[in-house]
Amino acid sequence: MNKIKTHIIIISIVFLLFSIFLFGKTGNMLIDFSREIYIPFQMLKGEILQKDIFLIYGFWGYFINELLYKIFPNIKTLLIEAHILSYFIAIGFYLIAINYTKKTYALIFTLFFISINIFSNSIFSFVVPYSFAMLWAVFAITYAFYFLIKNKLNLVFLFLGLVFVNRVELFILLSIGLIFYLIIKKINFTKNILYIFIFPIFNLFYIIINKISTNDILNNLNYLKIMSNTQAIRHLYKLTGVFFSKQYFIQCIEETIIFILAIVISYFLFKKNLKISAFGFITIIFLLFNQDGHFFCLGAVFLVAIAILNYKKLNSNDIILVYFSIVMSSKAIFNTSYLGYGNFGFIYVLFSYFILCSYFISKKFLISIITILLITQNISNAVYYKLHPKYKTKTNNIYLTKEFKNIFDKTNDFINKNIKKDESFIVLPEGQIFNFIHKKPWGFYNSTFTPLDFETFKDRAFIEKLKQNKTEYIIFFPRNTLEYGKAPICHNYGVDFCVYVMDNYTRIAIIEDNYKVLIFKKNEK
């Protein structure tokens, strides 16, 4: 058995062990993943993307999940799908890495990729994905990258098309870089480019079959435009990139100055001993800039800077690696944090630094430093899971922290015992998972009820839908919305909506267990 096969077996065993011990226990099922569970269920009930359902990302993930629901309509189905996709992403990364370094080093990076990123303790976990569109996009980018290295342009454009039907912004970035690269290399790709249309054709069929009009698409785009300019979205992103926060940008500049000074001091103190100097250099990179989960405050900038400084030594594959790493991390806008959007590109950026730095520092030395860093992060992850364990609720395949498990189970018990099959309800904010469990779609264009939604669609739209649907029960669940810069609902967002509920509904129950759930029933006329 050759070394690659042996390593793939090792990767498979490690992935399986993590899957067994952490199945459903990463991420947060009540934040975003609740949406991913609910939308394919809406589609099963006859609702149509862009026409009846607000579409933020590409349709592909929801389309696949609707098909899966037709066979196995439960949450475990989506969790298994996420694990399978994540496994092939890990394998794809390994197959890419062995083209750049020793197979053993590639294995080390891949194992840490699995433990730190794929099974991340943040809501951006691969295996409990905040967005299947992002997971499918990462899968497609990984294999587009791999087949580009292998000069199989047909498959490169095929997977590029898969990126398009999931994340258009990543498709644009990749397309620009790819076409520019092929032109510079004088590679004829005119015969291959047709493969890019295979996956988008599915989009077109879905639009035609479901009679989605131009107005439906434009309406969806208009809401996306409104949403992208809301205060809530700016607050949500301000800690994940420099674009939305002046304070964060200043912090990045300060850390950059410290970084440069540390390198200079390290050089002059230890210039007679390259290894000690290198140790100081790498330590600054991997420890100082790892504060609060940040791998690099301005990771993409430094990556490009090192690439430019070493451009004479770089080959075409190195350039591809740097570019794909930046694209994978682009959603984080220069902040590659494994606790945020940067989780999807963290390992690529780290691997890129390893390859570029190896031009002037020993790979053996580098891998030892990186291994120490990654072991430290794994210990940190292990401590986190020990201190914040997840428990299975009475409803199978839903895992929550202990305090939320209790209130979740009690709320679910109330719905089972008190709400009849022909009565409707909504749980807000982000409580669609209850509608899925009880097979009761609410039927609004966007049903997450976060501050972002209220700022985008306005209270009046939700009120009118309550009237139209004759919704019998309103359940306020204790979802913290501080990441949007807002206090709980009814305090400084959704106020008009809440006033309407108070005027037209009567509180019939309070459920308490660390948190408080308020349940209202529509007044009888």
- Per residue in 169-194, pLDDT (tens digit) is 899 989 998 888 888 888 888 888 89
What residue ranges in 429-482 does DSSP mark as E strands?
473-476
pLDDT at 28 over 60: yes
pLDDT of residue 522: 93
pLDDT at 4 over 70: yes
Range name among 13-27, 56-70, 229-243, 263-277 with the lowest pLDDT average: 263-277
What residue ranges in 213-343 does DSSP mark as E strands?
294-296, 336-337
For residues 488 and 78, the model is more confident at 78
- Do 106 and 129 lie in one domain? The reply is yes
- Do 36 and 154 lie in one domain? The reply is yes
pLDDT at 67 over 70: yes
What digits encode the pLDDT tens for the residues 7-26?
A: 999 999 999 999 999 999 99
The verdict on residue 224 lying in a domain is no
pLDDT of residue 289: 47
For residues 370 and 274, the model is more confident at 370
- Do 209 and 78 lie in one domain? The reply is yes
- Do 367 and 414 lie in one domain? The reply is no
Which amino acid, 290?
N
Range name among 2-11, 169-178, 259-268 with the lowest pLDDT average: 259-268
- Give just the sign of the alpha carbon dihedral 54, 240, 29, 346: positive
Last residue of a domain, one of 161, 196, 217: 217
The verdict on residue 380 lying in a domain is yes
- Do 380 and 401 lie in one domain? The reply is no
pLDDT at 264 over 80: no
pLDDT of residue 288: 47
pLDDT at 304 over 90: no
**Pairs from 39-45 (Cβ < 8 Å, separation ≥ 24):** 39/65, 40/65, 40/66, 40/68, 40/69, 40/78, 41/69, 41/73, 41/435, 41/436, 41/439, 41/441, 42/441, 42/443, 44/69, 44/70, 44/73, 45/441
Question: What is the C-alpha to C-alpha distance for residues 16 and 83, in angstroms, rounded to an integer?
Answer: 9
- Do 399 and 479 lie in one domain? The reply is yes
Last residue of a domain, one of 341, 365, 388: 388
Structurally, the chain folds into a number of domains equal to 3
For residues 16 and 365, the model is more confident at 16
- Do 367 and 400 lie in one domain? The reply is no
User: pLDDT-derived band of residue 291, with 50, 70 and 90 as boundaries?
Assistant: very low
- Do 329 and 236 lie in one domain? The reply is yes
- Do 273 and 349 lie in one domain? The reply is yes
Last residue of a domain, one of 353, 372, 388: 388
Give me the percent of the chain exceeding a pLDDT of 70.
86
What digits encode the pLDDT tens for the residues 126-175?
A: 999 989 999 999 999 999 999 999 999 999 999 999 999 999 989 998 99
The domain containing residue 428 runs over which residues? 392-522
pLDDT at 498 over 50: yes
The verdict on residue 223 lying in a domain is no
- Do 54 and 169 lie in one domain? The reply is yes
